[in-house]
Chain A
């Protein structure tokens, strides 16, 4: 058996997503918005997936939202790379609905796991995961 790689998996900085990660490194949350129909586009896409327009623009977000739902991870399952998260157990994965509308998968931090609640108002914080990647996570407002 090969050694298990215990580093946490990182996102690939794709051409579509590079502006997101550049902004995150400046501790700013941005998402694409359609200049024609006004829809938010998330995750990063080459065109507006509501109206098909290619006139989409990276736009600053408030960084505020509320917890739609969440889970507490109690056990590592699945791919080998998941082992890297074992030391963090128990931790919270959440769907956060941003005030502007898009729903993100993220972690809730700076809060004991037994105090996380649906509907809780949260604010973005950025955690450095590598030289180039700062992951947006959320803490209670």
Chain B
């Protein structure tokens, strides 16, 4: 059971992020405009046109709170293509990484030869109202005054600090590394370097979660193009191969099954992806980890096996910058670039491709050959993140 090196990323597109539209009179763009902008950039990067996608794959991440369940079909209409295989990203923020596996599988099966995956959101310029939809969140969380993901991640963070003795210095180090990388990334939104002290002094939002723990919502669009290895060879850029892929959604179920809220589904998804790729931890040159919160980045590093659970000293001795032993978030991550809803997670694939092509500019990881990308989505009742996808990418098959 493997899709090792059966597909390659051949194009990437990332719009600037912005927060326009919250004040009267500001210029606005729609979700449709951001998604077509990102798609145009990916097509230019690959040297392809929309016509190349007739009868081929189209994957679209589905934004949260978007009231239109048939958005992927509407995107096909906006772009003017007739897909032969249309998939919506159903795993929340993990959608872009999940679609990487899904589309690679469709390519490997011979169903399609090439796929466009895109997503956008414009939470500041399009006001959706934010109605409450049926489900556990409506019936068992919101009546208690939970404030979105902040409340649950805050409880994970407090428990982790209690059990393992991690402090704000450990989390602050990750925040500082991400912002340092953002300062070297012209597409990042938050680019002013910060110190651990700045992190510790940022205002409390939901104890112990502070402002600088949180991802920043933004308007924007993201896209990438995946192709069979044969097709990839004839295109403009060096193909970046999908060497391994693993996904675990709803990693635990039932109260007795013992959902350990401090262990993430990336533990198992990562094992599957790394085994498929045939790589060890020492082979991986960088990590691009889904980052809705600093603690989520922190937990993934240990759950992926780069250190033992609760080994806080690893975070003290490791340099996480692009020059260090374990570079993470080399473009600054969503926390600093901005999160256009579920399209946000696409950023990590795009940054991994840049690094593996050697297009990392001032923040290039020296001699990068293999990188690991994660996508996470959905915070279910009483648990840590519910949808976890991991991809191992490499610049040689």
A49 within 8 Å of B (CB atoms) = yes
The answer on a CB contact under 8 Å between B145 and A74 is no
Q: How far is the CB of B219 from chain A (nearest CB, A)?
A: 17
Q: Which residues of B sit under 8 angstroms from A101, Cβ to Cβ?
A: 255-256
Give residues 95-134 of A contacting B (CB, 8 Å): 95, 101-107, 118, 129, 133
List, sorted by A's number, 9 A–B pairs whose CB atoms are closer than 8 Å: A12-B138, A68-B155, A71-B208, A72-B206, A81-B130, A93-B144, A93-B206, A102-B255, A107-B144
In chain A, what residue has the closest Cβ to B209? A71
In chain B, what residue has the closest Cβ to A42? B255
Q: With the chains together, A118 CA to B154 CA distance in Å?
A: 13
The answer on a CB contact under 8 Å between A93 and B143 is no
B141 within 8 Å of A (CB atoms) = yes
Q: With the chains together, A41 CA to B256 CA distance in Å?
A: 9
Q: Which residues of A sit under 8 angstroms from B257, Cβ to Cβ?
A: 50
Q: With the chains together, A118 CA to B134 CA distance in Å?
A: 31
Q: With the chains together, A10 CA to B381 CA distance in Å?
A: 17
A-B contacts besides A70-B155, A71-B209, A75-B147, 19 pairs, CB < 8 Å: A42-B255, A43-B381, A50-B254, A68-B155, A71-B154, A73-B145, A73-B147, A74-B203, A75-B206, A76-B147, A78-B130, A80-B130, A81-B130, A93-B146, A93-B155, A95-B261, A118-B158, A129-B143, A135-B143
B70 within 8 Å of A (CB atoms) = no
Binary flags per residue of B126-158, CB closer than 8 Å to A gives 1, else 0:
000111101010111111111110111011101
Task: Select B254's contact among A39, A75, A88, beta carbons within 8 Å.
Answer: A39
Binary flags per residue of A15-27, CB closer than 8 Å to B gives 1, else 0:
0010000000000
The answer on a CB contact under 8 Å between B158 and A69 is yes
Q: Which residues of B sit under 8 angstroms from A94, Cβ to Cβ?
A: 155
Q: Which residues of A sit under 8 angstroms from B141, Cβ to Cβ?
A: 105
B3 within 8 Å of A (CB atoms) = no
Q: With the chains together, A41 CA to B198 CA distance in Å?
A: 44
The answer on a CB contact under 8 Å between B144 and A77 is no
In the A-B complex, the 5 residue pairs with the smallest Cβ-Cβ separation, listed nearest first, are A71-B154, A79-B130, A69-B155, A85-B145, A11-B139
Q: With the chains together, A75 CA to B329 CA distance in Å?
A: 28
Binary flags per residue of B238-260, CB closer than 8 Å to A gives 1, else 0:
00000000000000011111010
In chain B, what residue has the closest Cβ to A13? B139
Please report A residues at the B interface, Cβ cutoff 8 Å.
Answer: 8-12, 14, 17, 39-43, 48-50, 68-82, 85, 88, 91, 93-95, 101-107, 118, 129, 133, 135, 137
The answer on a CB contact under 8 Å between A71 and B143 is no
Task: Select A105's contact among B129, B144, B156, B203, beta carbons within 8 Å.
Answer: B144
Q: Which residues of A sit under 8 angstroms from B148, Cβ to Cβ?
A: 77-79, 82
Interface centre among B136, B156, B382 (most CB of A within 10 A): B382
Q: Which residues of B sit under 8 angstroms from A68, Cβ to Cβ?
A: 155, 159, 261
Q: Which residues of B sit under 8 angstroms from A78, Cβ to Cβ?
A: 130, 147-148
B23 within 8 Å of A (CB atoms) = no
Q: With the chains together, A105 CA to B156 CA distance in Å?
A: 13
In chain B, what residue has the closest Cβ to A103? B382
Q: How far is the CB of B379 from chain A (nearest CB, A)?
A: 11
Binary flags per residue of B50-61, CB closer than 8 Å to A gives 1, else 0:
000000000000
**In the complex where A74-B207, A78-B148, A105-B381 touch, is A118 in contact with B253 (Cβ < 8 A)?**
no
Task: Select B144's contact among A81, A102, A106, beta carbons within 8 Å.
Answer: A106
B366 within 8 Å of A (CB atoms) = no
Interface centre among B151, B156, B253, B255 (most CB of A within 10 A): B255
